[in-house]
Chain A
Amino acid sequence: MNEAFAPALDVEWLRRVEQFYYREARLLDERRYLSWLELLSPAILYLMPGRFVPLARASAADPETIHAPDKELSGYGPRALPLREEGFAHLAQRAERALKPNAWAENPPPRIRRFVANVEVEPLAGGSVRAWSNLLLFHSQQGRADHLFSAQRRDRLETYGDHLRIVEREVRLDGDTITGPSVALFF
């Protein structure tokens, strides 16, 4: 998807993915975390890179790369410190915890609304699809300042029976310093 022009649009796939995202967002907004787990592949990789401010390096050969967002990301290698890097078991533990009465960051629960936009899809072989989307997450709790998290999501979804499920999700937060109380949320 580095090219300026998108390939011919596969409307069927786009609709499917959009509807999947809207339903996913509604499940999460309604705090149905266990139902949300059903949308995940047991092999899911859930990633969130750290982000920092590097020293700009110009490239005469490719001037657009000077401020490429990739240069601001921590990455996930053995010498990196991503914000999150999880599998299904982690997400399941988070989901179960969030529904306990003594999970004090969730009781009373934050009110969260997720807005999914700018969906782009690229069908891959074997019934899976790469999808880009923008996420705006509104977070409000306990009369404190409300927070907005803005992020890009880069997903890989696969067909499973008649449905889609998430095999990989990378959440690239836009905030420099994180100003919300936690990013231990479902993005």
Chain B
Amino acid sequence: MRSTLERTPALPSQGTVEPSAAASLVSADGIHVARSIFVDPAIYAAEKHLIFARSWLFLGHESQLPQPGDFLTTRLAETPVIVTRSRGGAIRAHVNSCSHRGLPVCRADLGNAHRFVCPYHGWTYDGDGALVAVPQERKVGRIDRSSLGLPAVPRIESYRGFLFGSLDAQIEPLADYLGDMRFYLDTYLDRFPGGIELVGPPQKWRLRANWKLPYENQLGDLGHASYLHGALFATNDAGRETEAHGFAMVPRAGHSASLRLMPEESTAEERAWGIEGVSAGMDPELLRYLLAVQAEAERRLGPLRARIKGLTLGIYPNLNFVWSNHALRVSHPCGPDETEIWTWLVLPKDAPDSIRRALRGQYNYVLGPGGIVEQEDSEAWAQQWIGSRSDYPQDRPYHYGLGAGQERPHPELPGMASGLFNEYYARAFYQRWRADMLRDERA
């Protein structure tokens, strides 16, 4: 079989990391992680074709494209992409780059259009990516337009409305790729009979940090909250609850779900999504709504899943969902030491208007570019760059060994359980990273 890169002209092959070098960057047990993987341009170039071009990457949610002609622009790693709902109603994704000289043919973030006209010489494409007009043909005669459409993203699949695309035509089906991660996604989604929607346009901000660090943090770094966020969290109820009941589940290396499994004797209020130990000062209407959602969840989810109170979910390589604060986040890589984070608010589709604003405050006051908590994370992620790029300590890899060997299969939940300060969720991620970086480009 040909390599992904040869099939995918959008991503030129430029990674030159020797397999032996990749093996030495992360130890087989995932405990030792080379500093250079957060800053080295050659490693980043290899990541683009060995990881980003061969994984399922988040494209959007069906709720963002309700009507034929609706489109949004996004990116698969650094490749610009237009996602459209075509006239026929199918969702398509194409590289947003003109076949003539490469300009993006769509310059808006979102909208509704059936034609995309390239500004440079007017070549025009439709929502299926076909090149439908070349103004110069009038003067110089016909060209073979059929071979000059926008390059299609070869695979698009949806899991419960979440759209993923892959540049690897041979990639395993999305459902297999997610594996038992579906259990944790379902445990969130099944509580909302009317479904969820993404509220945007997304907030976008750029950090001087490698993409892996924000992703890794939200896989399950529960232990950092009382330190990095100590000015806010040291003593509150949510923090104590996480200490008592929090852990991370790794259903497949690279993915993770951090959560609290509330005790059987806990109250609905303690278990409910959206309350987080702050019911005392809560608007009574919001509290009533959240308790009603929980009551419905207890009916729909069964006794075990109703006790799961999620914190963060991670879908390899760069999608996170912050269950407790209603945020879906992508860490788009923009170079070895630059990441653009895009964040949407996630709300139940049928949440009443008065509730939506209150739920929004649980996200945008806390997390995102204006978040009182997130500002500490952004700072920490950007500071890591200093330690990663300095030459001297390169023989002292980062240590991911806390709790090594203490992870166990969970008696009730799918995957390996790693306790509050056990860094297994991260070791598993770097083991997956290592395996991907070692895979044969020609395989």
Interface positions of A (Cβ within 8 A of B): 48, 50, 52-56, 74, 78-86, 90, 93-94, 97, 100, 102-105, 142, 144-145, 176-184
CA distance A50 to B356 in the complex (A): 17
Q: Which residues of B lie under 8 Å from residue A50 when comparing CB positions?
A: 200-201, 203
**Is B360 interfacial (CB 8 A cutoff)?**
yes
Residue in contact with B109 in the complex, picked from A52, A178, A182, CB distance below 8 Å:
A52
* Chain B interfacial positions (CB closer than 8 Å to A): 107-113, 199-208, 228, 230-232, 340, 344-345, 353-354, 356-357, 360-361, 364-365, 368-372, 374-376, 378-380, 382-383
Whether B368 contacts A83 by the Cβ 8 Å rule is: yes
Q: Which A residues are CB-close (under 8 A) to B360?
A: 81, 85
Tell me which residues across on chain A come within 8 A of B357, comparing CB atoms: 78, 85
Q: Take A102-B231, A105-B376 as given contacts and tell me if A144 and B369 are in contact as well, using a CB distance cutoff of 8 Å.
A: no
- Chain A residue at smallest Cβ distance from B379: A105
Q: For A53, what are the chain B residues with a Cβ–Cβ distance below 8 Å?
A: 107-109
**A144 to B208 alpha-carbon distance, docked (Å):** 9
Residue in B204, B208, B371 whose Cβ sees the most chain A Cβ within 10 Å: B204
B370 with A183: CB separation less than 8 A:
yes
- Chain B residues with CB under 8 Å of A56's CB are 108
Give 7 A-B contacts (CB < 8 Å), ordered by A residue: A52-B200, A79-B356, A83-B370, A93-B372, A102-B230, A104-B376, A180-B205
Question: Which partner residue on chain B sits nearest A143 by CB separation?
Answer: B386
Contacts of A105 in B (CB 8 A): 375-376, 378-379
CB atoms of B382 and A178 under 8 A apart: no
Q: Are B206 and A184 in contact (CB under 8 A)?
A: no
Expressed in whole angstroms, the Cα–Cα distance for A74 and B370 within the complex equals: 15
Cβ–Cβ contact B345 & A81, under 8 A: yes
The 9 closest A-B pairs by CB, nearest first: A55-B111, A52-B201, A78-B353, A178-B205, A182-B375, A103-B231, A184-B375, A55-B108, A84-B370
Q: Is the CB of B201 within 8 A of A145?
A: no
Shortest Cβ gap from B361 to chain A (Å): 7
Residues of B within 8 A of A102 (CB): 230-231
Tell me the bound Cα distance from A85 to B365 in angstroms. 8
| A177 and B371 within 8 A (CB) | no
A48 and B371 alpha carbons, distance in the complex (Å): 12
Of listed A52, A54, A74, A145, residue having the most chain B CB within 10 A: A52
Nearest CB in chain B: distance from A98 CB, A: 9
Closest to B380 in A: A104
Kindly provide the distance from the CB of A91 to the nearest chain B CB, expressed in whole angstroms: 10
In the complex with contacts A83-B368, A104-B228, A54-B374 CB distance below 8 A: no
Residue of B whose beta carbon sits closest to that of A175 = B205
Contact call A74/B201, Cβ cutoff below 8 A: yes
Instruction: Point out the residue from A54, A78, A80, A184 that lies within 8 Å of B111, measured CB to CB.
Output: A54
Name the B residues within 8 Å of A55 (CB-CB): 108, 110-113
Interface contact A184-B113, CB-CB below 8 Å: no
Residues of B within 8 A of A145 (CB): 208
Contact B370 A182 (CB under 8 A): yes
